[in-house]
Amino acid sequence: MLPFVLFILWVITMVFLRKIKMHFFVFLVGSAGLFCFLMYIGLGSAEKYLEYAVTYLISLIGDFSGLYKAYPEYSSITIYYKNQAISFFVDYECSGFIETLVYVCLLLFYPVYNYREKILYTVIGIIYIFIANVARVFIICLIIKLFGSPLFFFSHTLFARVLFFAFMVVIYYIVFTRPHILRQKVGGMSYAAQ
């Protein structure tokens, strides 16, 4: 009952903010509110599908390369290094669920694009984040395969996170920063091509 009441309050707040033309707060409250509701709805279901999808694609790469063995039905990956077997799970952190939600929620309330552009960039962004996330998990597997379990923490917590962060900076620059600069209007001037 409480989530439903909060959702109704969010909708009323959004209508009020749009009516008084508080665009920044529409973006802020809209993005944050939508993120909270989608997290509440998708944390148990959509997150599991993403975990499975990431592990499934990783298993295809692993079967082709022979570097590791992935088990999509368990969302786990096992890497053999010398006489060791190192296993880890692809959980919500490795699924890219939170990163995808943040991107989608920000984009849906971003005032620079029209609806068609938002749909296009949403689809492209979800695919991009998914591939970047698969690359992150693959890099973790590759480092462990080459150097063993002592580098698990480094590969997972440091190197792969920095790599994924770099991927996110690229898409955020392309989708949010650059278009905002190019389409901004200053008085009667505009930076966009006429």
pTM of full prediction above 0.75: yes
- Gap between the Cα atoms of 138 and 140, Å rounded: 5
pLDDT at 36: 93
- Gap between the Cα atoms of 101 and 43, Å rounded: 11
pLDDT at 168: 96
Residues 36 and 61 in one domain: no
Q: Is residue 191 part of a domain?
A: no
DSSP one-letter code for 159: I
Residues 17 and 50 in one domain: no
Predicted confidence (pLDDT) per residue in 119-167, tens digit: 999 999 999 999 999 999 999 999 999 998 889 889 988 999 999 999 9
Residues 36 and 68 in one domain: no
Number of other CB atoms surrounding residue 188 within 10 Å: 5
Residues 6 and 65 in one domain: no
Structural domain that includes position 138: 43-183
DSSP one-letter code for 155: I
Residues 21 and 87 in one domain: no
Q: Is residue 135 part of a domain?
A: yes
Q: Is residue 172 part of a domain?
A: yes
Q: Is residue 189 part of a domain?
A: no
Q: Is residue 143 part of a domain?
A: yes
Q: Is residue 190 part of a domain?
A: no
Total structural domains within the chain: 2
Predicted confidence (pLDDT) per residue in 42-101, tens digit: 887 888 899 999 999 999 999 999 999 999 999 999 999 888 888 988 887 788 899 999
Residues 12 and 60 in one domain: no
- Gap between the Cα atoms of 103 and 129, Å rounded: 9
Query: Helix and strand tally (H, E) in the chain?
Result: 9, 5
Q: Is residue 27 part of a domain?
A: yes
